[in-house]
Amino acid sequence: KQWYQRRVRGVLNYYTNYYYKSNLRMGFMSGLMGEPGDDEDNYCNLTWENRLYAFAACLVIGLALSIFGTIEVWLGQYSAFALLYSIGTLVALAGTCFLRGPMSQIQKMFDKERLVATIILIASIVLTIVCGAVLKVGILAIICCIVQFCAFTWYTLSYIPYARNAVKAMFSSCTGMDCPC
């Protein structure tokens, strides 16, 4: 029985490692993650597993901050809403630096296919904070937050192969119009 369990574990590990490495080499996931051990961005000594944990932690913290910020809308605290939601977006975005490395991530953000989404995302984060915390105009902060959410979603979809095309096709089939983006 022990021999069988060791054999099954060995086979699973072999195929998991083979599948993972071959997909990264073929570029299947290269838009989302860099190869573990890449020297392109030797920014820290974290293992690949620790990088994934750090990414997940940033994602959860960013989501929690955004949810707490959304709760503040119902309490009428637009300044807290704007700050918490925007910081949540920034923390979630910063978490991707653990996957690719900070310099590589910044370079990818300003690639041709992500440039518009990145500019709109950064502008909407700044405008959300300005409208909510400085001007204290709640409805403008909410509108900027909606734009921020859409820009972050569109930016994220740019890392998934054919995801933007699928969303455009779904929009066209649901509305009967061509997607303006």
| pLDDT 10s digits, 117-168 | 999 999 999 999 999 999 999 999 999 999 999 999 999 888 888 888 888 8
CA angle centred on 167, ends 163 and 97, rounded to 5°: 40
Categorize the per-residue pLDDT at 19 as very low, low, confident or very high, splitting at 50, 70 and 90: very low
| pLDDT recorded at residue 99 | 83
Tell whether the model's pLDDT for residue 7 goes beyond 70: no
| pLDDT recorded at residue 64 | 95
Model pTM? 0.72
2 vs 18: CA distance, rounded Å? 24
Tell whether the model's pLDDT for residue 24 goes beyond 90: no
| pLDDT recorded at residue 174 | 85
Q: How many CB atoms lie within 10 A of CB 59?
A: 16
| Residue whose tokens read 């910044």 | 106
Q: How many CB atoms lie within 10 A of CB 149?
A: 16
The percent of residues in the chain predicted with pLDDT above 90, rounded, is 44
Tell whether the model's pLDDT for residue 111 goes beyond 50: yes
Categorize the per-residue pLDDT at 113 as very low, low, confident or very high, splitting at 50, 70 and 90: confident
Burial class from Cβ neighbours inside 10 Å (0-12, 13-18, 19+) for residue 128 reads: buried
Tell whether the model's pLDDT for residue 21 goes beyond 60: no
| pLDDT recorded at residue 136 | 92
126 vs 86: CA distance, rounded Å? 8
